[in-house]
Structures are given as C-alpha cells and as structure tokens.
C-alpha cells in the first residue's frame, strides 16, 4: 500500500495534543502525591545538616534511579548547620491584667540562643525597620518587638510578604548597633492564628548577634494591646539555639540526556531542605517532587527531549542558599548552557501561570505560549520573578521562570507546623507538575533566545 508523504507529515502531533497527553498522564497515572506522602510522613522536616535532610537526599536519589533517568548523582555542598534548642521560653512576667503570659514562640533560623541565664527586659514596639531611626535612643537595653503586619489589602501575597519580611531577616542586624538585647518578630503571615512562623535572619559582621524569636499574629496583637496599657511590661526569653560548624550536604540531580542538543540544559526543581517544624509539604517538598515528576512524564510518554532536562533538588534555600550558588558555579565551570530554569517554590496550589525574569525578547517568547495554557486555567504570565535557587544562574543569560500557583493560602502554612502533607491537594499538585512539564516541552521543542 502506498503511503502518501503528507499523511506521514500529518502524524506529527500538535503542541495542543502533546500538552493534553501530558495533563492526562499527570492527572491519571501519577505517583507524585504518594511520593510527597513518603517525603513528608516517612522522612518529615529536613533542615540543612539534619538527619531528615540526609534521608531526603537518599530518598529522592533512589526515586530517580527507580525511574531510570539517564544520570542521577549528588553534588557536594557545604551548608550552615543551625539547630533549635530543646527548650524555648518567651513570656510576659508582670502583666498587671493577666500576670504571667506564656507565648508559643520559635527561635528564628540562624539565631543565637540566650543560654540558661535568659534575657529579661522591657519592650519597645516598632512597626518596621523604617521606625528604627526615629526611636534609636529608646532601644538600648530593651527587647525590640517588630510588629508590622503583612498588608492584607495586597492581592499578590508574595508582594506583601516581601514588604514585611525585612523585620525578620534584618531586624537584629539593624537594632544591634543601638544596644537592643533581643528581637521578637510578629509572624510574617496574613492569617490571624496561634501559630508561630519560623524563618531565617542574617546578622551583620561587626554587630552583636541578638537572640531572635517569632510569635503568632494573635500573640503579637495581645502583646501590642498590653503594651498600650502598661509600658513597663517585662519579657523573659530563654532558648538554646546554636550555630554549629558548616557540614557536608548535597544537591540531588537527575537528568534525561538530550538527543539533539545535549549541551543545552533546561533545569526544573525546588529546594529539598525545609524548616524544622511541620513537614515542608508546600515549602518545598511539592516543588522538588514536581521536578522529578516532569522527567517521569517525559519518560512515560516516550517524549525524547532534544535538550538535556535536569531535575534538581537544591539544598539549603531556607537558611543560606548554598545549594543554588553551588549549582550555578558548577554549571559555569562545566561551560553548560542553561536556556531556562524553572523553580516551583510557591506551594503545591492550583497553577495560575508563570513568573519570569529575563530579557524582553525571552519574555515575549514565553508570552506567545500563553494561549496554549489558558484551557488549563493558567493565564498570568506577566509577573516578574524566578526563584531563590535559580537566581544565581541569571548572569549566564538563562531565562528564569517560576511556577505561579494561587497564592492566597501559602502564607498560612509557610514555615509552620501546619505545612504538612494533608495541606496539599492531590489534583492541584498534579496540575502544577503537568503545567511545568508542558512548558518544558515547549522550551525543549523551540528553544529560547539567549538574552
């Protein structure tokens, strides 16, 4: 029988058809949710340097070997090794209205502890770093209470977070020079609840390292209210957080080799470390396992990539960013050309689009594919952004992309004991993986301009 050439040509599947098969695979045959369950429930939280981090490295390595990726390996990274102490006390000792009030508080990551002698001091409340200068003569000998709320009126919650988080990350460094004794931070969340949120701080060289702890938004409101009635309120802080010497850890890398342009790379992933409360389900077990799932989908559908696809689980995003830096350094020293890097680190929520950081030309190219994603509910391609772990790749001409899920609930769970497996919805997580896989497919098929 004669086969006409145009019939053979017609067999090349359209982008729409391939994307449909990617979504079908992710929504009907995916082990993604079960993989997240294992990471969260069998391993649990995994701060850099912890036994959980070591177990998660081995689990994701084995998972990618089991899926028969072409290459699976570890990249050595030295990471900070901060440990929370066994006892964390933060209490008002002399409230005229309520006597002693115990707060449920968490030491901030990278913070020093108070030791057994503790710190007892009066409090000065500030709404943000911008108020320090005005009150600088009242800070000496006091505990500075940063109580600036996340702005609830901003629809983009990540913008509200960005505006408030400097209190946590830099409050100690900025008030140390004025003689502050310690720092208390209102949790960076728009939720009003009893849950304190962890997170890291950075000290400044030459400035005394102050112990710092976070309290819940409800406790922050209570403390603020009591201070209005009683200015000589005393707070006692005691904790045993320690900063141990840097320790050995790893980024976990799996790849499918490109069959046409193997020296061009598309990297996908998230960070494997998580805070030492909760299970790091949204932040960022979801992103890590979505990265692995993208490559699994390619294999399962027998889509042979032209370029090399890499799933990377970066280590130490939360309190140092060492994994992301080490990965970019490695890629530079090997002269690898990363055309695009996609990070999923905004939770396993229903995908709404992609953020991007790159040249106008690169962004235009990305925007051309928007209509392909609209049937799947992704419509927001306009926002700037990439991800903390991929940002060190930016000076290599790489287009940086972030999965943009619905962000309304992320900061309810972020860095808390409530960021557990049960907080992630199976279908939403799978839709995110399918969306990333579809974009990887398009990037691989058509490439993208270098700057």
SS3 content of the chain, % helix, strand, coil (to 5): 40, 25, 35
Q: Select 288 or 295, whichever has its Cβ closest to Zn ion.
A: 288
Q: Select 88 or 283, whichever has its Cβ closest to Zn ion.
A: 283
Q: At closest approach, how far in Å is the CB of 29 from Zn ion?
A: 27
- DSSP states of 237-306 as a string? EEE--EEEEEEEEEEEEEEE--SSEEEEEEEEEEE----SSS--IIIIIHHHHHHHHHHHHHHHTT---S
Q: At closest approach, how far in Å is the CB of 343 from Zn ion?
A: 9
Q: Select 319 or 331, whichever has its Cβ closest to Zn ion.
A: 319
Q: At closest approach, how far in Å is the CB of 32 from Zn ion?
A: 18
3-state secondary structure of 221: helix
- What's the number of CA atoms in the CB half-sphere (13 Å) around residue 403? 37
Q: Select 219 or 283, whichever has its Cβ closest to Zn ion.
A: 283
Q: Select 345 or 430, whichever has its Cβ closest to Zn ion.
A: 345
Q: At closest approach, how far in Å is the CB of 304 from Zn ion?
A: 32
Q: Select 37 or 282, whichever has its Cβ closest to Zn ion.
A: 282
- What's the CA gap between 114 and 434, in Å, rounded? 47
Q: At closest approach, how far in Å is the CB of 323 from Zn ion?
A: 12
Of residues 318-347, which lie at the interface with Zn ion (CB under 5 A)?
345
Distances (CA, A) of 434 to 17, 29, 375: 13, 12, 13
Quickly tell me which residue has 């060492």 as its tokens: 322
Query: And the tokens for 100?
Result: 């002693």
Quickly tell me which residue has 């949710």 as its tokens: 33
Of residues 131-190, which lie at the interface with Zn ion (CB under 5 A)?
none
Of residues 276-315, which lie at the interface with Zn ion (CB under 5 A)?
283-284
Q: At closest approach, how far in Å is the CB of 33 from Zn ion?
A: 19
Of residues 343-362, which lie at the interface with Zn ion (CB under 5 A)?
345
Map residues 404-433 to x or -, x wherever contact with Zn ion holds by CB under 5 A: ------------------------------
Question: Which of left, alpha, beta for 114 (phi over 0: left; psi -120 to 50: alpha)?
Answer: alpha
Q: Select 283 or 293, whichever has its Cβ closest to Zn ion.
A: 283
Quickly tell me which residue has 């700037």 as its tokens: 384
Q: Which letter does DSSP use for residue 110 in this model?
A: T
Q: At closest approach, how far in Å is the CB of 115 from Zn ion?
A: 30
Q: Select 219 or 284, whichever has its Cβ closest to Zn ion.
A: 284
3-state secondary structure of 91: strand
User: Which residue spans within 285-418 are E strands per DSSP?
Assistant: 307-314, 337-343, 351-357, 399-405
Q: At closest approach, how far in Å is the CB of 271 from Zn ion?
A: 6
- What's the CA gap between 439 and 431, in Å, rounded? 12
Q: Select 353 or 402, whichever has its Cβ closest to Zn ion.
A: 402
Q: At closest approach, how far in Å is the CB of 287 from Zn ion?
A: 7
In degrees rounded to 5, what are phi and psi of residue 100? -85, 130
Q: Which residues bind Zn ion (CB under 5 A)?
A: 283-284, 345
């Amino acid at each position: 029988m004669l086969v006409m050439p145009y019939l053979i040509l017609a067999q090349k599947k359209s982008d729409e058809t391939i994307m449909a098969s990617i979504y079908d695979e992710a929504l009907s045959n995916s082990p993604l949710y079960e993989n997240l369950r294992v990471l969260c429930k069998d391993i649990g939280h995994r701060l850099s340097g912890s036994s959980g981090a070591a177990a998660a490295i081995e689990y994701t390595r084995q998972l990618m070997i089991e899926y028969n990726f072409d290459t699976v390996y570890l990249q050595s990274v030295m990471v900070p090794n901060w440990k929370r102490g066994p006892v964390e006390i933060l209490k008002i000792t002399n409230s005229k209205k309520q006597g002693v009030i115990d707060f449920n508080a968490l030491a901030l990551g990278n913070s020093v502890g108070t030791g057994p002698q503790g710190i007892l001091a009066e409090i000065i409340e500030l709404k943000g770093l911008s108020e320090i200068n005005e009150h600088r003569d009242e800070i000496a000998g006091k505990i500075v209470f940063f109580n600036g709320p996340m702005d609830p009126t901003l629809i983009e919650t990540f913008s509200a977070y960005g505006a408030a988080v400097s209190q946590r990350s830099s409050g100690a460094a900025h008030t140390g020079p004025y003689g502050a004794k310690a720092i208390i931070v209102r949790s960076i969340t728009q939720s009003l609840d009893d849950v304190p949120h962890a997170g890291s701080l950075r000290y400044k060289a030459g400035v005394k390292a102050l112990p710092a702890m976070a309290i819940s938004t409800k406790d922050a409101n209570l403390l603020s209210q009591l201070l209005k009635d009683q200015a000589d309120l005393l707070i006692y802080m005691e904790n045993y957080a320690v900063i141990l010497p840097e320790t050995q850890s790893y980024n976990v890398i799996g790849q499918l080799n490109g069959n046409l342009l193997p020296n061009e790379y598309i990297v996908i992933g998230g960070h494997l470390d998580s805070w030492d409360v909760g299970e790091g389900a949204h932040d960022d077990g979801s992103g890590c396992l979505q990265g692995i799932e993208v490559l699994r989908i390619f294999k399962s559908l027998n889509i042979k990539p032209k370029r090399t696809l890499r799933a990377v689980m970066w280590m130490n995003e939360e309190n140092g960013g060492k994994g992301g830096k080490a990965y970019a350094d490695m890629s530079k020293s090997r002269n690898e050309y990363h055309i695009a890097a996609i990070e999923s680190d905004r939770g396993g929520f229903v995908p709404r689009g992609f953020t991007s950081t790159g040249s106008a030309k690169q962004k235009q190219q990305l925007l051309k594919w928007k209509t392909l994603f609209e049937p799947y509910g992704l419509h927001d391609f306009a926002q700037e952004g990439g991800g903390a772990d991929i940002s060190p790749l930016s000076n290599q001409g790489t287009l940086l992309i972030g999965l943009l899920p619905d962000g309304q609930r992320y900061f309810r769970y972020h860095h808390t004991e409530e960021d557990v497996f049960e907080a992630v919805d199976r279908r939403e997580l799978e839709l995110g993986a399918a969306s990333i896989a579809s974009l990887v497919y398009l990037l691989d098929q058509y490439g993208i301009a270098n700057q």
